[in-house]
């Protein structure tokens, strides 16, 4: 599981991808997802063929059903930008991202469960072991860096994303970014705890599958119910502290984005509109 939705600018909130080419990224999602899965578990030929077919169907559905909603949302952002954006507007963009992701996840959930059920105990164990190894790597990496260094890298990444959409920032805008960056709270320890809770929920589903009595249909049903929390209800696995930190950081980002956007000069606003138009054109070409 990746916490890949780290919102830096308006269009990224809509797409959840940070590529310089929307079309290139989208057209290679099947390869990207397969490559990511392969990092964690080795599928059999039968599983891989079934997975590829289900993924192809899911991406076709997403292309034909969901992309037009993204286009509509980006056009709404453009209207808001040019008539005078408000902080509630930006709050609604964050809510839109959540809705878009929830719709896609609900659509994918049956196929995720089917693939998960097809994994052998050995495959499931391999997945969970690799997942924990990634936790350890993350911990070791962050322990090598000072708090100041992590803050600096977070700021540089934020600045890079913003400037890619609006162009060069002035001194006051950089100061706004720095102030927002300094207000963010670290959630690393809580995120690792959440990842381990998430893995435990999955592990529990496989324990239930192994212990479940009755016919195959009952085993599948028991497994499905146990796995549901890790797929559709993963937020319930967050600690109160983690949820509070995430809520705080989102408020900081919303406020920072609002201040940056309302400070854009004519040239920066033109640059942003051009980037939004390019993204709309890319998405429309995918329909």
Continuous segment of H or E residues that includes residue 118: helix 87-118
Distance CA 225, CA 217 (A): 12
For range 213-237, the mean pLDDT: 85
Q: How many CB atoms lie within 10 A of CB 245?
A: 20
Residue with token string 């708090």 = 147
Q: What is the pLDDT of residue 12?
A: 36
Average pLDDT of the chain is: 84
What per-residue confidence (pLDDT) applies to 103? 87
Instruction: Give the span between the Cα atoms of 81 and 78, in whole angstroms.
Output: 5
Nearest of 150, 62, 169 to residue 111 by alpha carbon: 62
Cα 268–chain centre separation: 27
C-alpha 243: how far from chain center: 16
pLDDT for res 108: 85
Confidence bin at 19 (pLDDT 50/70/90): very low
Instruction: Quote the pLDDT of residue 28.
Output: 63
Give the pLDDT confidence of 128-183 residue by residue, as tens digits.
999 999 999 999 999 999 988 989 988 998 888 888 888 899 999 999 999 999 99
User: Residues 41-53: what's their mean pLDDT?
Assistant: 90
Asked if residues 56 and 30 have their Cβ atoms less than 8 Å apart, the reply is yes
Work out the average pLDDT over 5-34. 47
What is the helix (H) or strand (E) element at residue 230, kind and residue range? helix 216-231
- In this predicted structure, what is the pLDDT of residue 15? 37
CA dihedral of 151, 152, 153, 157, whole degrees rounded to 10? 100
Output Rg (C-alpha) for the chain, integer angstroms: 21
Residue 240, Cβ density class (10 Å: 0-12 exposed, 13-18 middle, ≥19 buried): exposed
Please state the pTM of the whole predicted model.
Answer: 0.84
- Residue 98 confidence (pLDDT) above 50: yes
Look up residue 36 and give its two tokens.
């990511």
Give per-residue pLDDT as tens, 202-212: 999 999 998 87
Lowest average pLDDT, out of 21-30, 151-160, 243-252, goes to 21-30
More confident residue, 40 or 207: 207
- Give the model's pLDDT for residue 191: 95
Predicted confidence (pLDDT) at residue 86 exceeds the cutoff of 50:
yes
Q: Which among 142, 244, 138 has a CA at the least distance from the CA of 196?
A: 138
pLDDT at 22: 57
pLDDT(188) > 80: yes
pLDDT of 51-69, one tens digit each?
888 888 888 888 889 889 9
Q: Contact, 181 vs 154, CB < 8 A?
A: yes
């Amino acid at each position: 599981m990746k916490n890949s939705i780290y919102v830096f600018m308006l269009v990224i909130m809509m797409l959840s991808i940070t590529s310089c080419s929307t079309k290139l990224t989208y057209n290679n999602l099947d390869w990207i997802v397969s490559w990511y899965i392969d990092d964690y578990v080795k599928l059999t030929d039968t599983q891989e063929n079934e997975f590829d077919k289900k993924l192809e169907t899911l991406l076709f559905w997403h292309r034909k059903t969901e992309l037009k909603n993204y286009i509509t949302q980006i056009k709404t952002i453009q209207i808001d930008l040019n008539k005078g954006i408000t902080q509630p507007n930006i709050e609604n963009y964050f809510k839109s991202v959540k809705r878009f992701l929830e719709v896609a996840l609900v659509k994918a959930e049956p196929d995720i469960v089917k693939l998960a059920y097809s994994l052998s105990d050995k495959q499931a164990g391999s997945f969970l072991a690799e997942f924990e190894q990634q936790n350890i790597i993350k911990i070791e990496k962050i322990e090598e860096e000072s708090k100041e260094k992590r803050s600096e890298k977070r700021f540089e990444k934020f600045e890079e994303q913003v400037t890619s959409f609006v162009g060069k920032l002035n001194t006051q805008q950089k100061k706004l970014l720095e102030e927002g960056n300094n207000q963010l709270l670290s959630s690393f320890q809580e995120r690792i705890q959440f990842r381990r809770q998430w893995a435990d929920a999955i592990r529990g589903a496989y324990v239930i599958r192994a212990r479940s009595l009755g016919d195959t249909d009952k085993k599948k049903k028991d497994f499905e119910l146990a796995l549901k929390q890790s797929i559709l209800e993963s937020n319930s696995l967050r600690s109160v502290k983690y949820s509070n930190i995430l809520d705080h950081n989102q408020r900081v980002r919303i406020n920072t984005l609002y201040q940056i956007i309302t400070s854009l000069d004519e040239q920066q606003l033109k640059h942003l509109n051009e980037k939004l138009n390019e993204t709309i054109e890319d998405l429309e070409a995918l329909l």
